[in-house]
Amino acid sequence: MKDLLRADLTFRLNGRLWMETDDRFMGIGRLELLTQIHSLGSISKAAQAMGMSYKRAWELVSSMNAQARSPLVLTQTGGKHGGGTELTPQGQQMIQEFQALQERFQAFLRAEEARLL
């Protein structure tokens, strides 16, 4: 492959990883949303931190919860002490598992880049 690429340009491999059912289940954006919800305790605050509408964030959470074996995110409606959102143990595990999968994917891309270039 080296002889096919111009010597004066720098090339690198790039890719994105996601898990799918009939619909997208998990990817970098959804991972970030789960991480933000976990740290901020709110879908609204997580959406705001990501520059995303609350409606879109809620749709993503709803989609993930519907596709998962058990919910990844639990919500509590407002009241005297306000509402809140928290990740379930399964949601926390999903963050850890997908981050590890993403790291292995990036390592694969680096190895292939070294082999090809």
pLDDT for 58-76, tens place per residue? 999 999 999 999 999 998 8
- Look up residue 86 and give its amino acid: E
Query: In this predicted structure, which of 63-67, 87-91, 94-98, 113-117 has the lowest mean pLDDT?
Result: 113-117
Judged against a pLDDT cut of 70, whether residue 80 lies above it is answered with no
How many whole angstroms separate alpha carbon 42 and alpha carbon 76? Answer: 10
pLDDT of amino acid 77: 74
Buried b (16+ CB within 10 A) or exposed e, 4-34: eeeeeeeeeeeeebeeeeeeebbbeebbebb
Residue 27 phi, psi (nearest 5): -155, -175
CATH 3.40.50.720 assigned to 20-116 = no
Please tell me which residue, 9 or 99, carries the higher pLDDT value. Answer: 99
Q: What share of the chain is helix, strand, coil (3-state, %, to 5)?
A: 55, 10, 30
Q: How confident is the model at residue 9 (pLDDT cuts 50, 70, 90)?
A: confident
User: Taking the domains of the chain in order of start, what are their residue ranges?
Assistant: 20-116
Bigger pLDDT: 40 vs 79: 40
